Structure 1
Amino acid sequence: MAPKHHPAPFSGGDRKARRDVDIAASSRPPTTFVHASAAANVLWPGVARRPRRRNRHFGRGTIRPGRDCSRGGRSAIMSAPPNPEKMTLYADARRRRLLYSQNDLQQALSACEFLYDCDEDASYSTADLRRFRCFETTLVVAYTRPFTQSRGGTPPLTMKMVGLKLSDQKRALHARLVDMRNTMMAHSDEEMMRMTTQPFDVSEEGETPLYLIQSVLDEGITLIGNLLVETNSLLREVYQAIVRTLYRDLQANPTSFDLRIDSEAARAARGVSPRSEAPLRDPAGDEDSN
């Protein structure tokens, strides 16, 4: 779009001089104005860009153009009100996750304590190594269990949920434990396997050959020494954050923790008899009776 020309003021009688100025101005090459979005398309072809709109000021309580609140649009100031039912359901699910996570971290910490019996400089039999490996597997699986999405609609645990900000070193250790869980403990990824096998004949001389397999797998322990100490520190930090969060929620709404989760599916999986309506036993009452 060529810019508008404003001729210099001339007297009414000097029309020829004014016409000469207009002709000279019209002979200049027009100035081209390129929009920012068009320039961006030249620099980055193939990237769709929307022209930037001018900032427009609206009064309080007004609706932006193109947003009709009667048809589900949002106003410039207010958004849709929160759904109390959904907020209650999320709070209940979050509370259950924190309670489950507290138990999971307790199991992981117990396994960590048992694993301290493993001396990295000592030699152990295969049976003892497998016992330590059981502790290590329990530690990793129990620790990472809360951070895994499970069935039932309970959200996974996050560090933000318990107000915890780990250091870079502990974040890296957390990621390593999750990777160990996904590739070694809960699954057997091909790239993480260390194994050798060999067939051998157990038949007597003159008999039909009878072969068996002798296999040797890596029974070593990963979380040992300084790495186990760092893991123990990570577990305790996460566990304490969970306990603090539960304590605050308990003080704010104690009645919300009066619950019982005892599904028939869980009882059947553990071989427990069908549920009775008898109330849960009060440990404090048992101590008083003694």
Structure 2
Amino acid sequence: MRKENERRQLTRMLSAMGDFRLALSAADFLCEADANERYDIETLRRFRCYEQTAIISYARPFTQSKGGFPSLSLKMCDVTLSTNEKELHERVLKLRNKMVAHSDPEMMNFASSTFDMSEVVGKKHFALFSKHDEGLQFHQSTDQFRFIDLITKVQAGLYQRLHQSAQDLPNALEMKVHFQPD
């Protein structure tokens, strides 16, 4: 049983390396956003796609999954974060859990209204208008760079831990994992 738990832990760690690479790429693309620039709605949505991909991909390994694979921990990554880095790590996990992957009420931000168009249409008819917040959580370049630094630090720590495992138990890291659809 212990060997199986170790294999699941190594599998989670290896999978996390791919998640961190994706998070880092998305965060890099997010750096194209300039907090002082005014963007059209489509461009803002593109930046939000980058931001949300970075948040989800970074947080995914730290989130419990089905199938008995353990969540990644910072200890498993063999990394110690500063107070500011730890706060950012927790902020990213909270954003993932309450806004990006779920829609918790305290993170919702939109307005809606109706407009009576009955006279124009000739019968009872109300048009619905809604406006959703298209803003970014990491709109300042300093926030973007801090997020990139966090991803890089955790990824580097995890890589070093896996590298050491490869030196100690090279056969344990010989694996292929493929999703099998139902």
User: TM-score scaled by structure 2?
Assistant: 0.93
In the TM superposition, structure 1's runs of 4+ consecutive aligned residues that sit over 4 Å from their partners are none
Once the two structures are superposed, the pairs formed by residues 79-228 of structure 1 within 5 Å of their partners are: 86-202=1-117, 205=120, 207-224=122-139, 225-228=141-144
Per-residue CA distance 1:151-171 (angstroms, 9 max, x = gap): 111111111112211111101
For 2:68 and 2:108, how far apart are their aligned partners in 1?
34
Partner secondary structure for residue 161 of structure 1: coil
C-alpha deviation, 1:203, in angstroms: 5.4
Partner secondary structure for residue 213 of structure 1: strand
Say if 2:164 is the partner of 1:244: no
Letter in 2 for 1:175: E
Higher helix share: 2
Partner secondary structure for residue 115 of structure 2: strand
Partner secondary structure for residue 160 of structure 1: coil
Partner secondary structure for residue 216 of structure 1: strand
For the pair shown, the structure with the greater C-alpha radius of gyration is 1
For 1:263 and 1:180, how far apart are their aligned partners in 2?
27
C-alpha deviation, 1:197, in angstroms: 0.9
For 1:98 and 1:167, how far apart are their aligned partners in 2?
22
Q: 2:180 aligns with which of 261, 264, 277?
A: 264
User: What percent identity do the matched residue pairs reach?
Assistant: 33
RMSD of aligned C-alpha atoms? 1.5
User: TM-score scaled by structure 1?
Assistant: 0.60
For 2:103 and 2:179, how far apart are their aligned partners in 1?
31
Letter in 1 for 2:149: S
When residues 144 and 203 of structure 1 are mapped into structure 2, their CA distance, relative to the original with a 3 A threshold, is same
Say if 2:169 is the partner of 1:253: yes
For 1:263 and 1:194, how far apart are their aligned partners in 2?
36
Q: Which runs of 5+ in 1 are unaligned?
A: 1-85, 269-290
Worse overlay, 123-132 or 247-256 = 247-256
C-alpha deviation, 1:204, in angstroms: 5.9
When residues 230 and 207 of structure 1 are mapped into structure 2, their CA distance, relative to the original with a 3 A threshold, is same
- Structure possessing the higher relative contact order (Cα contacts under 8 Å, 6 or more residues apart): 2
When residues 251 and 198 of structure 1 are mapped into structure 2, their CA distance, relative to the original with a 3 A threshold, is same
For 2:121 and 2:37, how far apart are their aligned partners in 1?
45
Contact 2:77 2:155 in 1 (8 A): no
Per-residue CA distance 1:113-154 (angstroms, 9 max, x = gap): 100110100001111111111111111111011011111111
For 1:128 and 1:204, how far apart are their aligned partners in 2?
36
C-alpha deviation, 1:100, in angstroms: 0.8
For 2:48 and 2:120, how far apart are their aligned partners in 1?
40
